Structure 1
Amino acid sequence: MTHLTLRPVRTVMLAAVLGSCLTFSAASMAQVSVNIAIGVPPPAPMYEAIPAPRPGYVWMPGYWDWDDHYHKHAWKKGRWERERPGYVYESPRWIQSRDGWVLVPGRWDQGGSKGKGNGKGNKGKDYHCPPGHAKKGEC
């Protein structure tokens, strides 16, 4: 008789374990990013005048994104975004891989005091001034 009463308990425990595995699996899949390589290199960056500094904000320069609908690069204009204390913004950039060109998305890196910069877009030693901006004293 004890053999029959343990079977439902085992079934419930097995179902609970399988359910938690599926939950962990779904959570880990949600953190996966997909990079798609394309065969077309991005055009040269477009010049954008950096507006006057805004206290508490970081300038995110424009960049070329890939438009899947039209199968071509599309310019995304620069914009201001609220700063994140202790973080440094890293602009999106295209890298060439063996399979083609891949866009590395922009992101916030922990940088401590690196993010203070000079108020003209320079956000630390890893910051790259967009083409044409340094000549105009904007970086």
Structure 2
Amino acid sequence: MKTRIAMLAAAGALSILASPLAANAQVSVNINVPGLVMTAPPPPRYEPLPPPRGGFVWVPGRWAWDGRAYAWHAGGWQPARAGYVYAPGRWIEDRGGWRWNDGDWRREARREARREREWEEDRRHDRYERDHRHGHDRGDFCPPGQAKKGNC
């Protein structure tokens, strides 16, 4: 009888151990988007503006991401471009991270506004000419005697 009780106790213990336990699963997905940094950049460093150089534009320094940490890149001079203004680069918050937007050259606003104004004047002039043309250019000219014959 003792063996029978021992066998039942062993069977009970085995059944408890064999019962399924709640499954724990944890999935971590890390998608690396090229050019997107998850850590915000530090505030810009103060750089004293050097004296102006003729024919050059000062490009301020910036924080650059090297894959592990931010590193400061000092500012420098770039050759000026006639009719253009340099727009410095900046960090932009994007999709939960930060992305560097390079600086570029943009047309001067004065020239762009003048070009828009000239274009609008040309368009207005063309519209006036189209509505106030006389004679053969209007498209509704009929040579004398042709209207009576039904040719126009």
Residues 35 and 89 of structure 1: CA distance in aligned 2, closer, same or farther (over 3 Å)? farther
Q: Which runs of 5+ in 2 are unaligned?
A: 1-32, 112-152
1:53 aligns with 2:24: no
| Equivalent-residue separation in structure 1 for 2:76 and 2:36 (angstroms) | 26
What is aligned with 1:77?
A: 74
**What is the identity percentage for the equivalent residue pairs of Structure 1 and Structure 2?**
43
In structure 1, what residue type is equivalent to 2:88? Answer: S
Contact 1:86 1:113 survives alignment (8 Å): no
Which structure has more relative contact order (CA 8 Å, sep 6+)? It is: 1
How many residue pairs end up in the alignment?
79
Structure 1 length-normalised TM: 0.52
1:88 positional shift = 1.0
Structure 2 length-normalised TM: 0.48
| Equivalent-residue separation in structure 1 for 2:55 and 2:82 (angstroms) | 9
Q: CA RMSD in A?
A: 1.9
Dislocated runs of 4+, deviation >6 Å: none
SS for the counterpart of 2:98 is: strand
1:41 positional shift = 0.5
What is aligned with 2:65?
A: 66
1:1-139 equivalence runs, <5 A: 36-68=35-67, 71-111=68-108
Flag the structure with larger Rg.
2
Q: Which runs of 5+ in 1 are unaligned?
A: 1-33, 115-139
